[in-house]
A and B are shown apart, each in its own frame.
Chain A
């Protein structure tokens, strides 16, 4: 793909993460981080991502990705109802449950 490798290089070259990027990733991952954690992760993740730059050396222009090493595809089973886990047992594990539902705080928009 013309220009594809150059674009890859451009993306991987800019390794050092900014504070905003760290906060954005933490938000996507639904992780609350302290300021100390943000600083540490920013440094550590930047160093780790730097190491990943090694991958841009590999010519993968004609290579298919491996999503799974198995030769299996579309493993099906008969459309038959089989026993599941008793709802009462599952609800008993929850921090808050009521009337066969999991109770959660409101989602406010």
Chain B
């Protein structure tokens, strides 16, 4: 008999409602599996068993009340154990953003996205590991050690939401929240064989999200099926008065039942199939496009001519924004504080800043702060940051024009499958190149779904990326669901 943790979120939710299993049982099953398996993965930075058990007990009472009287409101996610990426503030949990500069920090408030899940009756199991301040594509930049890929523990799970991806793929949680600024949900979903949804910029409130790139950060979901990812998404999306950049438009309901690809115009961008990408990845994505065509989609070749500029644009804009956002970590109000050397004749407050930040930030974070500071500095602002912002307009325009010809765009998520831990350690630029297919949609602020479309010769998952226009989540989720249901990639499990 399969373990409870092998169920999909939907299957578990159905059993909860039918009274076949309790939230307490699901929660204990997850906590036990975390204790047994997570030492090998390091997916969790903090497990919160007391909070989880209290939430499970409350959910079980609610479920019992609903079974007695179906008029009692009950959210579809009530009682479901989920994991939360550690860049999201959750009151009562340590929140570090994967950084030593926030070691021991206990936020006094909870992020809106998480608050909405808590109000739905979700059970938060704990906070997952990530690249420090969400900067990275492998989770190797975490100040608390890397997370390992459940499909092959000598490899990375991707990043920056690697902890969330590993936790869900290894069945330690039924789903998770992650964040995606340049690919940080889509790429780990691809490396770990999951459905990973990057929401449109402004679709989910960023209140309580520790900021990295304020014009790029999005919160989204990782799960073992598209329907599971869609359900979590529906609970967190929507306008929030606490976030002035949250979109006021109502959230289009995601109706997956009876979804069809008939008449869907599917764009395939020629610039996303490049020399140097892993042959098996290209083959799997092209095969997926054929499958989609067989299911009724009309395939249209399109061009997104400014694709090659997305990497330099992103690695100027994002670090520039990060350099401003991370200025707040100065040892004054919270987090790590180191005193300066106390040398005579020097400002000791400045020394506190320099010593705290020098010791508290890891190398990738320092690298990006330096890059961003340089790009914004006097004499260089127009040449670097200004020019990048203008090219960003052209990249966004490519997508606006493409979505006039097609409904959904299909392309790879990453040029490779999961690489070995340490393989890209010495070369930051080679790590940045992992993001080439996920960066352009981030710069344009559109939505994207990563879902499994095959495995390579080493048994490592390959992801397909489906892109939709801003606020077009329902469209990509429907297309993804149809593809997923017609294939079996998502039913395969890592050996762990």
Q: Closest approach, in angstroms, between the C-beta of A32 and any C-beta of chain B?
A: 3
* CB-CB contacts below 8 Å: B316-351 with A: 316, 323, 327, 330-337, 339-340, 345-351
Chain A residues near B241 (CB-CB < 8 A):
77
Q: Which of B351, B353, B366, B387 has the most CB of A within 10 A?
A: B387
Q: Closest approach, in angstroms, between the C-beta of A36 and any C-beta of chain B?
A: 11
CA distance A104 to B387 in the complex (A): 39
Q: Closest approach, in angstroms, between the C-beta of B184 and any C-beta of chain A?
A: 17
Known: A29-B369, A77-B241, A94-B334. A55 touches B387 (CB 8 A): yes
Q: Which of A33, A107, A108 has the most CB of B within 10 A?
A: A108
Task: Flag if B429 contacts A51 (CB, 8 Å).
Answer: yes
Q: Is A81 an interface residue (CB 8 A)?
A: no
Q: Is B201 an interface residue (CB 8 A)?
A: yes
Q: Which of A8, A48, A89 has the most CB of B within 10 A?
A: A48
Q: Closest approach, in angstroms, between the C-beta of A73 and any C-beta of chain B?
A: 10
Chain B residues near A67 (CB-CB < 8 A):
215, 389
Task: Flag if A105 contacts B348 (CB, 8 Å).
Answer: yes
Q: Is B63 an interface residue (CB 8 A)?
A: no
Q: Is B390 an interface residue (CB 8 A)?
A: yes
Q: Which of B349, B351, B373, B443 contacts A29 (CB 8 A)?
A: B373
Closest A residue by C-beta to B317: A66
Known: A52-B316, A72-B202. A32 touches B355 (CB 8 A): yes
Task: Flag if A54 contacts B201 (CB, 8 Å).
Answer: no
CA distance A86 to B244 in the complex (A): 23
Closest B residue by C-beta to A77: B241
Chain B residues near A16 (CB-CB < 8 A):
none
Interface pick from B173-181, B295-303, B304-312, B473-481: B304-312
Q: Closest approach, in angstroms, between the C-beta of A68 and any C-beta of chain B?
A: 5
Closest A residue by C-beta to B378: A28
Task: Flag if A105 contacts B361 (CB, 8 Å).
Answer: no
Chain A residues near B336 (CB-CB < 8 A):
95
Known: A33-B358, A94-B332, A95-B337. A69 touches B445 (CB 8 A): yes
**Binary contact readout B390-407 vs A (1 if CB under 8 angstroms, 0 otherwise):** 111110100000000000
Q: Is A99 an interface residue (CB 8 A)?
A: no
Number of interface residues of A (CB under 8 A): 56
CA distance A50 to B433 in the complex (A): 14
Chain B residues near A30 (CB-CB < 8 A):
327, 330, 350, 353-354, 357
CA distance A54 to B106 in the complex (A): 43
Q: Closest approach, in angstroms, between the C-beta of B334 and any C-beta of chain A?
A: 4
CA distance A30 to B428 in the complex (A): 22
Majority SS of interface residues in chain A? loop
Chain B residues near A105 (CB-CB < 8 A):
339-340, 348-349, 351-352
Q: Which of A31, A40, A67 has the most CB of B within 10 A?
A: A31
Task: Flag if B332 contacts A29 (CB, 8 Å).
Answer: no
Q: Which of B248, B350, B470 has the most CB of A within 10 A?
A: B350
Q: Which of A32, A37, A45, A106 has the most CB of B within 10 A?
A: A32
* CB-CB contacts below 8 Å: B74-133 with A: 105-106, 108-109
CA distance A33 to B374 in the complex (A): 16
Closest A residue by C-beta to B244: A75
Task: Flag if A33 contacts B366 (CB, 8 Å).
Answer: yes
Task: Flag if B445 contacts A31 (CB, 8 Å).
Answer: no
Q: Closest approach, in angstroms, between the C-beta of A75 and any C-beta of chain B?
A: 4
Q: Closest approach, in angstroms, between the C-beta of B276 and any C-beta of chain A?
A: 15
Known: A70-B245, A85-B109, A105-B349. A45 touches B374 (CB 8 A): yes
CA distance A75 to B215 in the complex (A): 15
Known: A52-B316, A54-B312. A29 touches B323 (CB 8 A): yes
Task: Flag if B347 contacts A107 (CB, 8 Å).
Answer: yes
Closest A residue by C-beta to B106: A93
Q: Is A109 an interface residue (CB 8 A)?
A: yes
Task: Flag if B108 contacts A58 (CB, 8 Å).
Answer: no
CA distance A4 to B160 in the complex (A): 38
CA distance A32 to B105 in the complex (A): 23
* CB-CB contacts below 8 Å: B360-391 with A: 361, 363, 366-367, 369-371, 373-374, 377, 379-380, 382-384, 386-391
Q: Is B236 an interface residue (CB 8 A)?
A: no
Known: A32-B357, A65-B393, A94-B333. A70 touches B312 (CB 8 A): no
Chain B residues near A104 (CB-CB < 8 A):
332, 349, 352
Q: Which of B334, B363, B390 contacts A65 (CB 8 A)?
A: B390
Q: Closest approach, in angstroms, between the C-beta of B326 and any C-beta of chain A?
A: 9
B: residues with CB less than 8 A from A are 105-106, 108-109, 201-202, 215, 241, 244-245, 247-248, 306, 308-309, 311-313, 315-316, 323, 327, 330-337, 339-340, 345-355, 357-359, 361, 363, 366-367, 369-371, 373-374, 377, 379-380, 382-384, 386-394, 396, 428-429, 432, 443-445, 470
A: residues with CB less than 8 A from B are 7-8, 11-12, 17, 21-22, 25-26, 28-33, 37, 40-41, 44-45, 47-49, 51-52, 54-56, 58, 60, 63-70, 72, 75, 77, 85-86, 89-90, 93-96, 102, 104-109
Apart from A45-B367, A63-B394, list 9 A-B contacts with CB within 8 A.
Answer: A40-B363, A41-B370, A45-B374, A58-B309, A60-B390, A60-B391, A67-B389, A93-B105, A93-B108
Closest 4 CB pairs of A and B: A69-B445, A32-B358, A65-B389, A60-B390
8 A-B contacts (beta carbon < 8 Å): A11-B379, A26-B370, A31-B358, A72-B248, A75-B244, A93-B333, A104-B349, A105-B352
